[in-house]
Amino acid sequence: MRSSRYFLPVLKEAPSDAQIVSHQLMLRAGMIRQEAAGIYAWLPLGLRVLNKIEQIVREEMDRAGAIELLMPTIQLADLWRESGRYDDYGDEMLRITDRHKRELLFGPTAEEVVTDIFRASIKSYKDLPKNLYNIQWKFRDERRPRFGVMRGREFLMKDAYSFDLDADGARKSYNRMFVAYLNLFARMGLKAVPMRADTGPIGGDLSHEFIVLAETGESAVFCHKDLVEMPAPGPDLDWINGDLQPLVNQRTALYAATEEMHDEAAFNALPEGDRLSARGIEVGHIFSFGTKYSEPMKATVQGPDGQQVPVQMGSYGVGVSRLLGAIIEASHDEGGIIWPESVAPFDVGIVNMRQGDAACDAACETAYNALKAAGREVLYDDTDARGGAKFATMDLIGLPWQLIVGPKGIAEGVVEIKHRKTGERHTASLESVLDGLTKSKTT
């Protein structure tokens, strides 16, 4: 993409109501624009990152055997009356009346809809287990939307729903999501710690939040410090038949709880050096709630003995749009965002220090075309802005690599390559720099 044809409205200063760094940087980097309180338009740069995060989530869900579908944003109030949640949900539910006076709502979550889909089609234990997920916009009418996409009203969520014949199967489904979450957050460069959590309006008796530690986090969290650096298991597991319980136990054996579930005595029983008391951002939340929805909504299957039994369910959320904020909180410096390569909007930025200079332009075009041909995503700043402004923009938007082409270097046959994360710069021939950038993303 050429900057001259792109739409990248960077700002010199963030609006004063942006309180946390991720919100400030997303506004300044031209990633989002607020259209109403807690409602954002995703500008081209922001959308690219959102899509990459969404794709990582999708791949890890698919790997764990979940099946993607897409539920509508608008739901029937009557379906929520069946589960008993319509009146319970309170002011956060955006309630709507259509032209025929039917009561609708903008889905804040989709347990009812997915249970309705399930009960219409699946009748036998032979079709279990099933895990159905979707990545769809949700709306929660927060009383006080804040922190940009971290606590917006319209937000993108991945929500998966598992269906099993019995508690043992439900536990396995829960474990699959637990482990998939460890992997998917790790792929985004995040250290997300699973913590015992309150179940709130979703319900059930087993629940974990996945928490990224950050000073700007909204909740106080408490955990054993070893959990933070524990590596993710990685993809090479038997997701269908394997026993994932040991991987889960390895983590749940160590103390970790959100404020609501915090047990001061248990925490204080840890050696002082192992105690980590911090603030955190919730990026995922998983629930096992048995028959809370299947029973009132009559989602039953025929068991092996011919009896009808209500299906055992769980639900598994990832805050896809919120993750952009969490990643930026975890990865930025004074100059701006530092994207992990897996979610960067472009792999490489090309800075032409003297647009219009024939030699610089030619070198940049060569680089741009070679990198694109090698499958790299490239933003080529071909505008006539000054070099200093171009550098500032590149640092702000946080692409992993910057390729800098200036007249002095070109005269000597060299260009500069800068690694955004470390700030390291190297000077080398264009050919060798391109060779490195096209060989692998981590070169």
Query: In angstroms, what is the minimal distance from the CB of 35 to its own copies?
Result: 6
Residue 95, classed as helix, strand or coil, is strand
Beta bridge partners of 193: 211
Kindly state the smallest distance separating residue 94's Cβ from its own copies, in Å. 6
The DSSP result for 101-151, as a single string, is --EEEE-S--HHHHHHHHHHH--BGGG--EEEEEEEEEE---SS-BTGGGB
With respect to its own copies, which residue has the nearer C-beta, 122 or 437?
Answer: 122
Q: How many CB atoms lie within 10 A of CB 261?
A: 17
Closest CB 108 distance from its own copies, rounded Å:
13
Q: Which is nearer to its own copies, 365 or 435 (CB)?
A: 365
- Token duo for residue 8: 């990248």
List the structure tokens of 46: 């922001």
CB of 219 to its own copies, least distance (A): 23
* Interacting residues with its own copies (CB under 8 A): 5-7, 9, 30, 33, 35-37, 39-44, 47, 50, 65, 67-76, 79, 91-92, 94, 96, 98-99, 102, 104, 106, 113, 116-117, 120-122, 130, 132, 137, 139, 141, 143, 153-154
CB 381 within 8 A of CB 394: yes
Measured from the CB of residue 441, what is the shortest distance to its own copies in angstroms? 21
Query: Each residue of 75-90: b (16+ CB within 10 Å) or e?
Result: bbbebbebbebbeeee
Q: Give Cβ neighbours of residue 13 (< 8 Å, ≥ 6 apart).
A: 28
Angle 38-39-41 from CA coordinates, rounded to 5°: 140
Nearer to its own copies, 39 or 358 (CB): 39
d(CA 362, CA 368): 10
Nearer to its own copies, 209 or 381 (CB): 381
CB nearer to its own copies: give 194 or 349.
349
**Nearest-approach distance from CB 183 to its own copies, in angstroms:** 20
Within 13 A of 202's CA, how many CA atoms are on the CB side?
26
- Residue 117 vs 237, nearer CB to its own copies: 117
Classify 278 in phi/psi space as left (phi over 0), alpha (psi -120 to 50) or beta. Answer: beta
Q: How far is the CB of 79 from its own copies (least distance, A)?
A: 8
Q: Rounded to the nearest whole angstrom, what is the least distance from the CB of residue 34 to its own copies in the complex?
A: 10
Question: 52 in helix, strand or coil?
Answer: helix
Nearest to 157 by CA among 107, 221, 82, 228: 107
* Residue among 129 and 409 whose Cβ is closer to its own copies: 129
For 23, 183, 410, 416, 417, the CA distances from 425, given in Å and listed in that order, are 29, 32, 16, 7, 6
CB burial string 363-377: b at 16+ within 10 A, e below: bbeebbebbeeeebe
Q: Which CB atom, from 35 or from 243, has the smaller least distance to its own copies? A: 35
Smaller CB separation from its own copies, 7 or 432: 7
d(C-alpha 176, C-alpha 85), whole Å: 27
Residue indicated by tokens 């900057």: 3
Instruction: Report the nearest approach of its own copies to the CB of residue 145 (Å).
Output: 10
